Structure 1
Amino acid sequence: MASQIVRRLVRGRASGIFSSANPSFLDRSFSSAASESNLIRATLFPGDGIGPEIAESVKQVFRVADVPIEWEEHFVGTEIDPRTQSFLTWESLESVRQNKVGLKGPMATPIGKGHRSLNLTLRKELNLYANVRPCYSLPGYKTKYDDVDLITIRENTEGEYSGLEHQVVRGVVESLKIITRSASLRVAEYAFHYAKAHGRQRVSAIHKANIMQKTDGLFLKCCREVAEKYPEIVYEEVVIDNCCMMLVKNPALFDVLVMPNLYGDIISDLCAGLIGGLGLTPSVNIGEGGIALAEAVHGSAPDIAGKNLANPTALLLSAVSMLRHLDLHDKADRIQDAVLKTIAEGKYRTGDLGGKSTTTEFTNAICDHI
């Protein structure tokens, strides 16, 4: 197991395990984001609930690691912005467009009518077409599985999450699933190039085309078309229900998984459960034009907000993904090593990891390892 962990981390560092895989999609020029002091300006959404606390942990760790990031913070508004139809302001979206890189804490959409989900707003307005989530077993943190090393790549802009619903007649509602050739080709191309760039051997397209023959059938057709350009990578197609069973029985059967939106939401959370939960899982959203928005995908946990109990690991590792996207690999290595060492030692762990440490104590322990 130890040798597998070492190989995994070395491979990730050599190629940038969280970095953007396809330069043809992404213009990764950050000269416009850098200030006169040679700092890279990045947008930070602290988010709701525990978001501000774990965002503060990231800022503290970055200060200790001397990371050359200048944060431009934006908060969720209290009123709907008519330009975005949500509680996210147009100015906050413009910040990400200009900086091209950002980090987002958990956001909870307030219950009500007449506005969009905050997360959906970000994905749609910024055209964040691929959600990339690595799931790998952490050394020193025991779960039922010891050899998890998966990458889920989720199409992020359409499918069942297109938001097109209406009532046909009273008691009957209809939701439209949108699958397009352009979006399917784009995410498939990203998945295969990611696999090639990161030394991955297999890409699995997850689907339900046996039932949804036209929508999922189009997605598979696009994946097959892209797969022909990558003969060195094994390509397979797996029905989603069978995929779930196979993942639980033996996660080692998979490598890179690519899938439409809803399936990606389900499978990526399942994979997170294999390694200990969403609190340990990083994520980054890739958009055209060079945008990368890393995020912690767990909830805002309002029940423990402000109590200094939250685990900042997911947001910290997502911040590492942001640094790798910026080619700041030395800084990313130092922070990732410090996080993994702190968890492996077991002296300072938050409640969700079976410990009794506060957010502050856990963060300070990470800083001591940097």
Structure 2
Amino acid sequence: MKKKITVLPGDGIGPEVVQSAVNVLDTVADQFGHEFEYSYAKIGGVAIDEENSPLPSETVRVCKESDGILLGAVGGPKWDTLPGDMRPEKGLLGIRKELNLFANLRPVTAFDSLIEASTLRKEVVKGVDLMILRELTSGLYFGEPKERREENGEQVVVDTLYYKRSEIERIIKQAFELARVRRKKVTSVDKANVLESSRVWREVAEEVGKQYPDIELEHMLVDNAAMQLIRDPKQFDVLVTENMFGDILSDEASMLTGSLGMLPSASIGSTGPGLYEPVHGSAPDIAGQGKANPLATIASVAMMLKYSFGLSKEAEVVDKAVSTVLEQGYRTGDIAAEGETTLSTTEMTEKVIAAMTNQAKVTN
């Protein structure tokens, strides 16, 4: 199989973790006889510095011509004072919109070998396996108007929460389809006691749910969902929610695993390439020091192999290698207990590749 992959290293630790992921992809190609062709492009802060745009038109073109997109991270304090339309995050929002990547899949799995890394009790975290499905191309982050203005001599700020019914329907259908191959439960998260958009969201969820009689549907207010994720996360299978709620809840859920450095994500649409990235940010405070945890980006590569390329066996090899190195006790600084030896970004990547190679030897 030959596939074109657009690589967007981005800012901060992005280039480091992306290089780790590319090394893993190269190992997959060697082991299974595939060919991955890489095209590199700029996004975020580095694109602002070099192209005066957080999302250059060339980046959009290259992405649209690819079979899958690998992204590191964007942003950092260096660009915090720029106006909204020139912030690095505008590049990330823009590429999602350009490619119509409306569904953001964020799996949250608690590894037994990392139970101690979580700040929650072992019995709460052990066995957690849930999927947060976040609507990604509408809602408060994209609604218009979005502005500052003067009213009666006072500054007023407006952000608009905007959804089309069709946008709500397609993400909720995606949730039911995911639940059908998991544990057959969907939790739709909203704020229907306050927001009109959430009341429509809940109505649509009920309508879609009737098409899936084999799937259990429950509704949960977002504040309760935030609490329940900490109190009893094992009750959840697939959580589906709007853009901003999903942004917040998925970051909260990351701490069930002990670190943001452990969570991958996939952003997909109805057609075209998917975008794969770690949930963590650019972490400029450790950029260039070899301290970044590459495992979330490597796990994102596994999602690319599975969801964009249909290579489930190859994805399983990558996921199993990540589990193996954790079981063997290898740690980066963010997931290490006090006194444990830590590996650099490169060293951890080498351990994953070694585990993949050992799997291949056993299989062959």
TM range (shorter): 0.7 to 0.9
Find the partner of 2:232 among 250, 260, 266: 250
Distance 2:211 2:127 in 1: 30
Structure 1, unmatched stretches of 5+, are 1-37
Q: Is structure 2 residue 74 aligned with structure 1 residue 107?
A: yes
Q: Is structure 2 residue 347 aligned with structure 1 residue 361?
A: yes
Q: Is structure 2 residue 131 aligned with structure 1 residue 151?
A: yes
- Report the AA paired with residue 36 of structure 2: I
The answer to whether the 8 Å contact 2:48/2:86 transfers is: no
Find the partner of 1:336 among 309, 319, 329: 319
**Residue 150 of structure 1: SS of its match in structure 2?**
strand
Cα-to-partner distance string for 1:217-271 (whole Å, 9 max, x where unaligned):
1111111111110010001110111111111111111110111111101111111
TM-score, scaled to structure 2:
0.85
User: 1:35 corresponds to which residue?
Assistant: none
Q: CA deviation at 1:80?
A: 8.4
What pairs with 1:1-370 in structure 2 (closer than 5 Å)?
Answer: 38-65=1-28, 66=30, 68-76=35-43, 77-78=47-48, 86-108=53-75, 110-111=79-80, 112-113=82-83, 114-115=85-86, 117-142=90-115, 143=118, 144=120, 145-162=125-142, 164=144, 165-166=146-147, 167-169=149-151, 170-196=154-180, 198-212=181-195, 214-325=196-307, 326-346=309-329, 348-354=330-336, 355-370=341-356
Q: CA deviation at 1:192?
A: 0.8
Q: CA deviation at 1:322?
A: 0.0
Q: CA deviation at 1:79?
A: 5.3
Q: CA deviation at 1:163?
A: 5.0
Cα-to-partner distance string for 1:184-225 (whole Å, 9 max, x where unaligned):
0111111111211x233110110101011x211111111111
**Residue 283 of structure 1: SS of its match in structure 2?**
strand
The answer to whether the 8 Å contact 2:4/2:67 transfers is: no
The answer to whether the 8 Å contact 1:296/1:315 transfers is: yes
- Report the AA paired with residue 61 of structure 2: E
The answer to whether the 8 Å contact 1:134/1:283 transfers is: yes
Distance 1:194 1:168 in 2: 46
Distance 1:215 1:168 in 2: 26
Q: CA RMSD in A?
A: 1.7
| Range that drifts further, 116-125 or 280-289 | 116-125
Distance 1:291 1:221 in 2: 31
Cα-to-partner distance string for 1:121-141 (whole Å, 9 max, x where unaligned):
111221110111000111311
Structure 2, unmatched stretches of 5+, are 357-364
Check 1:59–1:277 CA distance in 2 against 1; reply closer, same or farther (3 A cut): same
**Residue 205 of structure 2: SS of its match in structure 1?**
helix
Distance 2:67 2:342 in 1: 38
**Residue 166 of structure 2: SS of its match in structure 1?**
helix
**Residue 225 of structure 2: SS of its match in structure 1?**
helix
The answer to whether the 8 Å contact 1:205/1:237 transfers is: yes
Q: How many residues in Structure 1 have an aligned counterpart in Structure 2?
A: 327
- Report the AA paired with residue 12 of structure 2: G
- Report the AA paired with residue 186 of structure 1: R
Whichever structure has more helix as a proportion of its residues is 2
Cα-to-partner distance string for 1:80-136 (whole Å, 9 max, x where unaligned):
869xxx422112112222224211111116331242512111112211101110001
TM-score, scaled to structure 1:
0.84
Cα-to-partner distance string for 1:300-356 (whole Å, 9 max, x where unaligned):
11111111111101100001000002111222122111111111211x311111142
